[in-house]
Structure 1
C-alpha cells in the first residue's frame, strides 16, 4: 500500500495496487447502464455538437455567453448530484432518481429546437443538466454497489466507454442530418428527442436496483454537517484533486469554436466531438483495466500529459489537421482520467455513503468547471483562443507539479 500526501496532511489519501480476477464478469446492470448512457449521449451530443455555433451564429450570442451558459449548466448538474446522491443513500434506492434524471434529459430536448434567445437555451441546458445531476451520482453509486471490488476499474471504464460511443455517434448523426436539412440546425435538434426516449425505456425495462443485505438498516442522513466526518481525509484529497483536474480542462464547446474559427464548415463542426469521443471511447475500458492492476498515482500524472500537449497544439496552430490531433489528445486525457477518478471516489468512501460521495465530488468539480468556463470565455473574448489554451496548459502543468511534489514528499517520508 502506498500513501500519497496531497495538498498537505489534511488531504492525505491512499492509493492501493490491486489485483484483478479476470474470471469475474461485469454485472448485467453495469452493461445496461452503459447502453442507457450511450443512447442519452447520442441525444445530447446531437444538440451539443451544434449548440456553440447555434448560439453565436443563429442567436448572435458572444463566446463569453457560451462559456457562461455551459458553466452554469454544468454547475447546476453538480449541485443536483449532491442532493440526488444523498436521497439515494437515504431511501436505499438508485433507480427512481436514475429514471427521473433521464426522463428530464429527454424532455428538455424540444426546448433547444424552439429557442429564440440565449435565455431559453440557458433554460434548456439548465433542465438538461439538472437531469444529468439527478441521475449521475445514483448511477455511479449503483455501478459500485453491484460490482465486485476486484473489477471496479473496468466496470467504470466499460460504462464510460459505452457512454462515449454515444458521444461520437451523436455528432455523426448531427453531420448527416445537417447535410439532409441543408444546415438547418433547428430541424436537427428535433431528432435528438428519439434516442432520449430510447434511453428512458431502457431504464424502465433493463435496470435492476441495488439489493440491500437482508436485515440491513440504512445509515442516518449522510449530508448533515456532523456526518461529513465519516468521509476520510483520503476522500477529501480525491475531491481536491478532482477540482484541480477540472480547472485544467474547460468545456469542449471551445474546441468546436476553435476549429470553426480555423475554417471548419458548420456542417462538419460535430467532427470535433466525433474525434475526441472516439479516442475517449477506445481508451476508457483499457484505462479502467490498468487502474485495477496498477497504482493510480502514476496513471493520474500520465493522464494530464495528453491534455497539456493538446492545449499547446491548439494554442499554436491554425492548421485544422494539427488542431484535430490536439482534439484526439484531449480525448486520450479523458479516457485515462475519468473512470479512474470514479474508482477513487468509490474506494475512498464508505459503502453506505457512496451516493453522497459522488454528489460531493461532482459538486466541487462542477464549481471548478463553472470557474474554468467563465475564465476561458473571458480570455477568449479579450485575448483570443491562443491565450485561452495556454492558460489551460498552465493549469495542467501546475497540477502535474503538485502531484509530483506530493510524490517526492512521500518518498522523503518513506
Structure 2
C-alpha cells in the first residue's frame, strides 16, 4: 500500500479505532453490567470503583513501561501482536468470569494487554510520518477515536447479548492489529535504545517543549473530564426535562447518550480537516481556536440549562474537541527530542490523559458542598473551572518553541 494516502492513514489509525471502540463499550456498559451480575446490589458501586481505580493506576504505569521495552528492543510490531492476542483473551475471559475475583483478574489482564499494544503503537506516527504530514495522520487518529465511540454506542444498543458484545470487541481488536501487521509492518531502521530505564523515564522531562506539551494536554483533558464526569448529575439535578426538536427522552441516562453521540459526530466531522490544515498553518493556531472555543461553549450551559440548547452545544463542543484531537498527537510528535525513545516518550505523554481523570473525580466533594449551600451552584463552579482549564491549556501552547 502506498504510504501517506487516505487508505494508508486509515489503516494506521485502525488500531486506535479498535482501542476506543473497546474502552467505550467496556467502561460505559459491559464492565458495570458484569459487576452487577456478580456482586450484591448494595456492593456494586464500590466493586466497580475498585476496578476503575486499579485500571487508572495501571494506565499511568503501563504505557511508559511497555514503550521503554519497545525502544530497548527496537521493535514495535511484536508488542502490538502480543497485546492484541492477550486483549482478545482478556475480553473473552471477562465475558465468562464466574465471580468478581475472576472478573478482576481478567480486567487486570486487559489493562496489561492494552498497554502492551498501545504503548509501542503510539510511537508509529513519529516513527513513520514525516513532520509535514503528521497533522493529517493525527487527524485520522482523532476521527477514528470518535467513530470508535459512536460504533460502541451502536453495539451496546443493537446486540442484546453481553457475551456477544465482548466477542465483537475481541474480533475487531484482532482484525485491526492484523491489518496493521500486514500493511504497515515493522518500522524500518529502528535502533535499540541503550539508555537505562531511569534515564529513559527522565530524559523527555529535560526538554522544556515536552513539559509544555504535556501540560497543555493535561489541562485540556482536565477540562473535559470536569464536565464529563458530572454531566449525568447536572442533567438530572438541574436540567430535569429532556425535550429537543420533537424528541422526548425518558431520563438523564438517555440524555447523556444523545449528548455523547453529538460530541462524537462533531469530532469525527472536524478532525481530519483540522489535521490537514495544521500541516499547512502550523499546530498552534488550531489549538488556539479549539481551546478558546471549548472554554466558551461551556458557559452557555450555565446560563440556559435547556436540553435542546445542550444538544446544539454538544455538537459544537465536539467540533472543537475534534480539532484539538487532530492536532495534539502531531504537536507532541514534533517536539520529541530522541528518535530512539519515541515509544517511551509517547507513553509518558499519555499519562496526561489518565491523571486528569483521577483529579476530576476528586471534585465530587466540592460539588456536593456547594450544592448544599445553594442548589446547582456546585455544577456552576466545576463548569467554570472547566472553562478555565481549557483556557489555561490553550495559553500554555505559546511556551512551546519547537512547533509553529
Under a length normalisation based on structure 2, what TM-score does the superposition of the two structures give? 0.76
| Alignment partner of 2:26 out of 47, 55, 61 | 47
Contact 1:310 1:326 survives alignment (8 Å)? yes
Aligned partner of residue 100 in structure 1, secondary structure = helix
Contact 1:238 1:345 survives alignment (8 Å)? yes
Does residue 354 (structure 1) correspond to residue 342 (structure 2)? The answer is yes
Under a length normalisation based on structure 1, what TM-score does the superposition of the two structures give? 0.74
Contact 1:242 1:365 survives alignment (8 Å)? yes
Alpha-carbon separation, structure 2, partners of 1:333 and 1:117: 42
Aligned residue in 1 for 2:91: 109
Aligned residue in 1 for 2:175: 198
Higher relative contact order (CA 8 A, sep 6+): 1
Shift in Å, 1:84? 1.5
* Per-residue Cα deviation, 1:138-196 (whole angstroms, up to 9, x for no partner): 2121122111221111111113312322221221222222xxx4xx7676555444423
Equivalent residues, number: 378
| Higher deviation after alignment, 100-109 or 287-296 | 100-109
Does residue 328 (structure 1) correspond to residue 311 (structure 2)? The answer is no
Aligned partner of residue 133 in structure 1, secondary structure = helix
Alpha-carbon separation, structure 1, partners of 2:31 and 2:307: 18
- What is the 5 A alignment of 1:375-414? 375-379=362-366, 383=371, 387-388=378-379, 390-401=381-392, 403-404=394-395
Alignment CA distance shift 1:34-1:73 (3 Å): same
Aligned residue in 2 for 1:18: none
| Alignment partner of 2:222 out of 231, 236, 247 | 247
Aligned residue in 2 for 1:33: 12
| Alignment partner of 1:234 out of 209, 229, 244 | 209
| Alignment partner of 1:133 out of 115, 126, 142 | 115
| Alignment partner of 1:176 out of 149, 155, 158 | 158
Alignment CA distance shift 1:123-1:235 (3 Å): same
Alpha-carbon separation, structure 2, partners of 1:325 and 1:118: 41
Does residue 339 (structure 1) correspond to residue 326 (structure 2)? The answer is yes
Aligned partner of residue 122 in structure 2, secondary structure = helix
Alpha-carbon separation, structure 1, partners of 2:146 and 2:207: 31
Alpha-carbon separation, structure 1, partners of 2:13 and 2:279: 19
Contact 2:291 2:393 survives alignment (8 Å)? no
- What is the 5 A alignment of 1:261-276? 262=240, 263-264=250-251, 270-276=257-263
CA RMSD of aligned residues (A): 4.0
Contact 1:52 1:253 survives alignment (8 Å)? no
Contact 2:142 2:326 survives alignment (8 Å)? yes
Shift in Å, 1:211? 0.3
| Higher deviation after alignment, 69-78 or 280-289 | 69-78
* Per-residue Cα deviation, 1:50-74 (whole angstroms, up to 9, x for no partner): 2587489875568798677545424
| Higher deviation after alignment, 48-57 or 125-134 | 48-57
Aligned residue in 1 for 2:147: 165
Aligned partner of residue 362 in structure 2, secondary structure = helix
| Alignment partner of 2:287 out of 289, 300, 304 | 300
Aligned residue in 2 for 1:221: 195
Alpha-carbon separation, structure 1, partners of 2:119 and 2:11: 16
Shift in Å, 1:25? 3.1
Contact 2:70 2:343 survives alignment (8 Å)? yes
| Higher deviation after alignment, 120-129 or 351-360 | 120-129
Structure 1 segments unaligned to the other structure (5+ residues):
1-22
Alpha-carbon separation, structure 2, partners of 1:136 and 1:129: 10
Contact 1:248 1:393 survives alignment (8 Å)? no
Contact 1:156 1:288 survives alignment (8 Å)? yes
Alpha-carbon separation, structure 2, partners of 1:155 and 1:236: 23
Aligned partner of residue 276 in structure 1, secondary structure = helix
